Amino acid sequence: MTHSHGFLKFTNIMRKITLLLASLLVVFFFTACSDGVDDIEYKENNDIVVATPQVTATTGTSLTVKSSVTGNPNNVIKMGFCYSVNAQNPTIKDNVVDVDGDFSVIISGLVNSTTYYICAYVYSDSRYTYSATLTATTKSLSLDEQLKNYVAPAYEDNYVGIAGWNQRNEWNLANVHDPSVMLAADGYYYMYQTDASYGNAHEGHGHFHGRRSKDLVNWEYLGATMHQVPSWVKEQLNIYRNACGLSSISAPSYGCWAPVVRKVNNSLYRMYYSIVVTDQISGSSSWSERAFIGLAETTDPASNIWEDKGFVICSASDKNLDWSNNGWETAYFKWNAIDPTYIITKEQEHWLIYGSWHSGIVAVELDGTTGKTKTELPNPWGTITDIAPYGKLIATRSLKSRWQGSEGPEIIYNAETDYYYLFMAYDGLDIPYNTRVCRSRNIDGPYLGIDGRDLIASGGEMYPIVTHPYKFNNSNGWVGIAHCAVFDDGNGNWYYSSQGRFPANVGGNAYSNALMMGHIRSIRWTTDGWPVVMPERYGAVPAIAITEDELLGIWESIDLSYNYGKQNTSVNMTLGAGNKVTSGLWSGSTWSYNAPKQTLTINGVELCIQREVDWESSPRKHTIVFAGYSGKKTYWGKKN
């Protein structure tokens, strides 16, 4: 994250500007139910009994359900059904279909072969009464039938109207920032994130909030995993300060940023989290205080109860106690202890990778049993040799400056390619944010870019570009797309998740850049083993093989070359008969299609193609997209 940016008194500029703009909003939100009071939705009416729903008809995309009400139904104001793929006891805060008269309805727009939880409800005498839960599964459909009946996600990206805390159960992927995602043993994907939200709706409600999903499309909000900053942070901070001859800070200011979550085994899950102390070390001309990485564990992520295990590592300096402000390029901290990522290697070693803006990204080995550093840590100041246990440099954007726009590392291992992949966020988080990737045969490097650049020996720009601010036609497009999570489903399918921000002043909203939507995209792998991220977000479009005839016609293509702080826009390209490109990018060249590999080659550039949602069309529909590399260049496209 561009959270700490050097820990100067103006260190948190990028984040604070964004959140300050959002905090200027004074908005009073009400819940989706009629009264807008949280606890009223769960009060029972002893004069009313609502029967458990029954299914009277089932298709691949719908369930026909009925119920009945007995007791004293004369005061019933409304009734209907609540349903969810996640919440096993759905309420009106989930999906709702109201009914009139006969207590039955067809719930449509469902996904085939999917289990739904359904409750009937009645509202009367200022309270809701729910039935017991029905579990029902839609029918299986052939792939062709699935595509014919496909219904794209309907949630709004511009979520201002539901941004308030009281409407958090409607957020789905709204208010997501710096996500980390894991697949747990219970079949749910769990997502956790930085403390950030539009209008600061999360403030006062804990830290490192979570949500979960069975299908990566519909997400259930779980709330905070940490209710207050652990006491050890202040204690450890002041131990260090006192050892440096500084007075204690009685009430430190904190930022809670960028957790990473991983399944260690089916009964142990770990979260490494960042706590940043934003107070200055000493005086108005010094750097801000250090950041800490802590550890929490749970045996059951569904409980949303995490046990804090305390201190793991903190920011370290090779300048001893010279914390004066000598400029950005000579930053006090050598290693900045935020943005952790965690991996268990193929040799079953445990490693923590971390760093942001200061000098680069470092790796430190952990004790797999405790989750703490394998080597005992000395004081986090001294010479570069003294602080060696705080990590080994594995990637840097600059060999000359200790102040560089790179952060948010994410590390994965792909057994099929036998590479470790290090994904990185570049530049400021508000608009310019973009994602890069490099790879290594070893967890601690050397990491090389697609151009062969060694990211330790030479530093410099990492290629390829994985995501970048962009804009397809008929949309505002997206900016701030980085600090990613990369994860798989255990069946060879990989995904990329990050925030995506609205550009500034969308629809006249001066704070639109503070709208942070969670993005999930499919990853494909090139024939030479590099991950490419699909340009359109994942929407569970059936993975039906694409025929060559479907490729004919007009496409929007985007050259995703680096363009600091700017959205790269699309241009039309036509794939014509006779395998000729008749207009736009690569006009006059030839194209070919490899159906078994689902790759499109244009002018010698291999592009991975698949079906995804056309999020810019109205109504949304499925389409075909491509992504690929040519040297250091990245190309995205979608079929119109």
246 and 358, same structural domain?
A: yes
Nearest to 493 by CA among 350, 610, 346: 610
pLDDT above 70 for 599: yes
Q: Return d(Cα 71, Cα 212) in angstroms, integer.
A: 37
Write down the residue that tokens 């909003």 correspond to: 25
Could you tell me if residue 566 is inside a domain? yes
**In CATH, what number is assigned to the domain containing residue 577?**
2.40.128.10
Sign, CA dihedral 32-34-40-41, equals negative
pLDDT digits (tens, 9 = 90+) for 504-527: 999 999 999 999 999 999 999 999
Lowest mean pLDDT among 64-73, 382-391, 475-484, 536-545: 64-73
Which of 479, 500, 533 is the last residue in one of the domains?
533
Query: Checking phi first, is residue 441 left (phi over 0); if not, alpha (psi -120 to 50) or beta?
Result: alpha
Torsion (CA) 20, 23, 24, 28 in degrees, nearest 10 = 170
Domain count, the chain: 3
Q: Is 119 exposed, middle or buried (CB count within 10 Å of its CB: 0-12, 13-18, 19+)?
A: buried
Between residues 517 and 4, the one the model is more confident about: 517
Is the predicted pLDDT of residue 210 greater than 80, yes or no?
A: yes
Q: Answer whether residue 351 shows pLDDT above 90.
A: yes
User: Where is the domain boundary, 91, 119, 148?
Assistant: 148
Residue 25 confidence (pLDDT): 35
Q: What's the burial of 367, exposed, middle or buried (CB within 10 Å: 0-12/13-18/19+)?
A: exposed
pLDDT over 80 (residue 33): no
Alpha helices in 411-527 (DSSP H): none
| Position 422 pLDDT exceeds 60 | yes
The predicted-structure confidence for 367-378, as pLDDT tens digits, reads as follows 999 999 999 999
* Residue 277 binned pLDDT confidence (cut-offs 50, 70, 90): very high
Q: Is 398 or 100 the better-scoring residue by pLDDT?
A: 398
- Percent of the chain at pLDDT > 70 equals 93
Q: Are residues 353 and 397 in the same domain?
A: yes
Q: Write the DSSP string, 549-594.
A: GGG-EEEEEEE----TT--EE-EEEEEEGGGEEEESTTTT-BEEEE
Same domain, 560 and 632: yes
Is residue 584 domain-shared with residue 635, that is, in the same domain? Answer: yes
Residues 135 and 180 in one domain: no
Q: What is the reported pLDDT for 85?
A: 93
Considering the domain boundaries, does residue 495 fall inside one?
yes
pLDDT for residue 17: 34
| Residue 486 shares a structural domain with residue 578 | no
- Kindly report the average pLDDT of the chain as a whole number: 92
**Mean of the pLDDT values across residues 178-182?**
98
pLDDT of 94 strictly over 70: yes
Residue 189 in any domain: the answer is: yes
Residue 538 is assigned to a structural domain of this protein? no
Q: Domain for residue 2, yes or no?
A: no
Lowest mean pLDDT of 42-56, 426-440, 571-585, name the range.
Answer: 42-56
Whether residues 187 and 136 share a domain: the answer is no
Q: Which two tokens stand for residue 598?
A: 């689902």
Distance CA 536, CA 317 (A): 42
- Residues, the chain: 640
**pLDDT at 3 > cutoff 90:** no
Residues 206 and 111 reside in one and the same domain: no
19 has pLDDT over 60: no
pLDDT at 71: 84
Sheet architecture: strand order including 434-440: 406-414, 419-426, 434-440, 465-467
Q: Are residues 180 and 86 in the same domain?
A: no
**Domain CATH for 58:** 2.60.40.10
Residue 466 pLDDT grade (very low, low, confident, very high; cuts 50, 70, 90): very high
Are residues 570 and 463 part of one domain?
Answer: no
Q: How far apart are CA 23 and CA 511, in angstroms?
A: 9
Say whether pLDDT at 411 is over 70. yes
pLDDT of residue 32: 30
Judge whether 620 lies within some domain.
Answer: yes
Q: Are residues 503 and 376 in the same domain?
A: yes
* The pLDDT value given to residue 45: 58
Q: Which residues contact 567 (CB under 8 A, 6 or more apart)?
A: 469, 470, 471, 477, 478, 479, 503
Confidence band (pLDDT; 50, 70, 90) for 2?
A: very low
pLDDT band of residue 93 (cuts 50, 70, 90) is confident
CA distances from 348 to 179, 351, 421, 423, 442 (A): 25, 10, 17, 21, 13
Q: Is residue 3 part of a domain?
A: no
Do 317 and 418 lie in one domain? The reply is: yes
Q: In what helix (H) or strand (E) does residue 15 lie, and over which residues does it extend?
A: helix 13-23
* CA–CA separation, 270 and 291 (whole Å): 19
pLDDT of 34 higher than 70: no
Q: Which of 106-110, 164-168, 294-298, 506-510 has the lowest mean pLDDT?
A: 106-110
> What domain range includes position 627?
548-639
Q: What's the CATH number where 425 sits? A: 2.115.10.20
Q: Which of 533, 556, 575 is the last residue of a domain?
A: 533
Q: Give which of 43, 31, 30, 63 is closest to 122, Cα–Cα.
A: 43
Structure tokens at 204: 């006062």
Query: Region 352-374: what's the mean pLDDT?
Result: 97
Predicted confidence at residue 44, as pLDDT, reads 55
- CA separation for the pair 353, 117 (Å, rounded): 40
Question: CA 494 to CA 139: how far, in whole Å?
Answer: 27
Strand (E) or helix (H) holding 115:
strand 115-124
pLDDT band at 127 (very low <50, low <70, confident <90, very high): confident
Q: Identify the pLDDT of residue 46.
A: 64
Asked whether residue 155 is domain-assigned, the answer is no
Residue 407 pLDDT > 80: yes
DSSP 187-240: S-EEEE--S--GGGTTTTS-EEEEEEESSSSS-EEEEEEESS--HHHHHHHHHH
- Give residue 339's identity as a one-letter amino acid code: D
